[in-house]
Amino acid sequence: MKRRTFLKTLGLGAGAFVAHSFLSPRRALAAADHSFVFCYFRGGWDTLLSLDPRDPNVFTEARREETRIELGWDQLPAAYPRTIIQPSGSNIEFGPVMGAMAPHYEKLCVVRGMSMDTVAHEVGRRYFITGQTPRGSSAAGSAVPTRIVAQQGDHSPFPNLVMGAETYNDGLPAYASGLTVNSVTDLVTSLTVGPGAPPPAVRERLAAFRDGKHLCDPLGADRRGLLTRLGDSQIKARELVESGLSSKFSFGSQNDPEIAALRTRYGIQNIDGVPAQAAAAFQALKYELTQVITIDATANLDTHDANWATDQPDNQAEGWGALAQLITDLEAEPDPSRGGTLLDHTTILCFSEFSRTPLLNNRGGRDHHLATSCLLAGANVPGNRVVGATSDVGMTPMPIDPNTGAVAETGTIVSPTLVIASLMQATGYDVTALRTDGLPCLMA
């Protein structure tokens, strides 16, 4: 029986929220009060435009054959500067598409010179999602958000919310599995009593029936607690629908001042666009609806052709702008249950499957490149720091001192596994499954 059909037989409209937890007992484990946001920049970003830029006065067209690096910034739309962005006091140099993020430099750590060991989209994507090298093109192990929630325990309506990205669960408790929706529209629909659900009168009778019935043979059929957890999950799903949580994500609403303010701050014009996903992440964290959320932070960045000059900067800038607003909101929002602000208890990771080649190809675009960067922000992150580097000839990964993050001749090459291990270890999680410790230079 399909999940949706099964859930309708229970008289529930929010079917997606039932099956995530009833198969496994809840646990309250380490660091349960920490939140995470994973931002996936889909398609392979051009880091010369953002996280790993070069000085255009040094890396000129005349030196292209010598450096094997071609900025091409003169081809960008006029809205973007032709220079590196570096606010006063910042140790981080930002590319021309990151103007919105640059003011947050004190909360950011940029990791450069990371080796992906692949130029295949599905392999690079799954490598970062799981923190483990894929088996061929198949994901190896569970997604990082799933690992985190498995250690936190289940203490929110949807502990692991995944919007527009992949997720995996390899042998971990069912409650840790990612609840996947394709868009904000899907999320709102899941939280709403939809077509085909029983009418209110029938739902009331079902509720009265459940409340008045006792579990059959509690010493036999329920000796492992399955029926009890199933009943609890039915109640939880019913409460989610009846609580009106969908209104927190109904960004098209014209009657709610909070939603109107969100729409203005994030510049939401399309409820399924990137700004709406960032706003949904804020709402989910603000109202303690999730513990870990993954968002698709950009439109497609796979720019092999002349569309590189417009699609790369515009799509990246939209993602960075939405993320900058999310950080601003998290920093401004008090956290009544944990103290401080939401950002004091939230760690953000931005990643892509790889970067683009430092030289433009003969079609005016950039192909896939093994070296890439990523960005960490928020709690337990060493702020205003750059870790690692790519070379000034061809942008190859450089080894680093794991303690300082500086380039070292006999150091360590950074990998997604090391970044993920650092992120988890810095916030108190077990990293045994990753078979490595994190890098001290990435942990605050």
Give me the pLDDT at residue 181, please.
93
* 417: Cα within 13 Å, side-chain hemisphere: 15
What is the pLDDT at residue 25?
32
- Strands 35-40, 179-181: pairing is unpaired
Residue 21's pLDDT is 34
What does the pLDDT read at residue 314? 98
Measured CA to CA, the distance from residue 200 to residue 223 in angstroms comes to: 33
Q: Which of 124, 138, 135 is nearest to 369 (CA)?
A: 124
Other CB atoms closer than 10 Å to residue 107's CB: what's the count?
19
pLDDT for 307: 96
Helix/strand/coil percentages in the chain, nearest 5: 35, 15, 50
Q: CB of 109 within 8 A of CB of 349?
A: no
The rounded distance, in Å, linking the Cα atoms of 394 and 68 is 5
Q: Say which CATH topology domain 31-191+252-442 has.
A: Alkaline Phosphatase, subunit A (3.40.720)
**With b meaning 16 or more CB within 10 Å and e meaning fewer, what string describes 25-45?**
beeeeeebebbbbbbbbbbbb
Report yes or no: 373 and 52 within 8 Å, Cβ to Cβ. Answer: yes
> What are the domain boundaries of the chain?
1-29+192-243, 31-191+252-442
* Core vs surface per residue 215-231: b (16+ CB within 10 A) or e: eeeeeeebeeeebebbe
Residue whose pair of structure tokens reads 């929630």 in the numeric block: 149
* Rounded Cα distance, 322 and 245, in Å: 22
Strands 346-351 and 35-40: parallel
| Secondary structure (DSSP) of 57-90 | TTS-GGGHHHH-----GGGS-TTS-SS-B--TT-
Contact 107, 346 (CB under 8 A): no
pLDDT means over runs of 10, the chain (444 residues): 32 35 36 88 98 98 97 97 98 98 98 97 97 96 97 92 96 93 90 60 54 53 47 51 78 94 96 96 96 96 98 98 98 95 98 98 98 98 98 98 96 98 96 96 96
